[in-house]
Each structure stands twice: as C-alpha cells, then as structure tokens.
C-alpha cells in the first residue's frame, strides 16, 4: 500500500511519460520527446488548455489571446484568470451570402 496515501506527482508517473514519449516517436516518426521536459500527462483537454494558458501568458506584457468564435469556454476563463485579454476572431459563416451555403450538408 506504499505510495497510495499521497497524491501523485503533478508531472505524472515517469514510466507513463516515457511510454508516451516512445509512442509519439513511433506514431509520428519523430525523435522521441524528452519525457522529463516535453511530456506532461493531463486528465483531459480542459486541464491541459488551462495549464498551457496559465504558463504562456505574461500579464505584465499586456498579453492578448486570439481565439475562434464560437470557442471552447476554457479559452476565455483561463485567459482572464492569467491576466490576459481575450480577442475573438469570428468564424461564423454568413449563409446570406449568395452560394455561401452550398458546401454545407444540412
């Protein structure tokens, strides 16, 4: 039962990170990422996006994050909590434009 009474390391288990690194190298025919500095397991995309945003924004530099609209809500929350400013890039198709809808399958 040793080790079961504490939270795991934030970086994740070293064996898991090494396995992920090896899989990435085989799957994408790339040099294996450094498991200690380039692999960080996450419980899901929301957690990973939040952590990335928190480390990538420098609020003292007036950081601006541009995201598509509509967007995944974590973009806005993580940006604001990190002290950045969110700018939305419109991605909605104007169906009123002549022929603008012909490529859509409705």
Domain positions in the chain are 12-41, 43-97
Q: Is the per-residue pLDDT at 106 higher than 50?
A: no
55: DSSP letter: H
pLDDT in tens, 54-98: 888 988 888 898 888 888 888 899 999 999 999 988 776 665 665
Q: How far apart are CA 22 and CA 4, in angstroms?
A: 27
- Number of other CB atoms surrounding residue 17 within 10 Å: 21
Check if the beta carbon of residue 25 is closer than 8 Å to that of residue 31. Answer: yes
Q: How far apart are CA 106 and CA 99, in angstroms?
A: 14
Beta-carbon contacts of residue 90 (< 8 Å; ≥ 6 apart): 69
């Amino acid at each position: 039962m040793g080790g079961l009474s504490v939270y795991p390391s934030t970086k994740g288990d070293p064996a898991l990170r090494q396995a992920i690194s090896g899989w990435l190298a085989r799957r994408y025919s790339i040099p294996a990422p450094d498991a200690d500095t380039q692999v960080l397991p996450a419980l899901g995309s929301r957690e990973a996006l939040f952590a990335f945003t928190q480390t990538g924004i420098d609020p003292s530099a007036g950081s601006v994050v541009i995201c598509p609209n509509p967007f995944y809500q974590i973009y806005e929350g993580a940006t604001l909590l990190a002290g950045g400013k969110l700018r939305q890039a419109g991605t909605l198709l104007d169906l009123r434009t002549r022929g603008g809808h012909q490529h859509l399958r409705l």
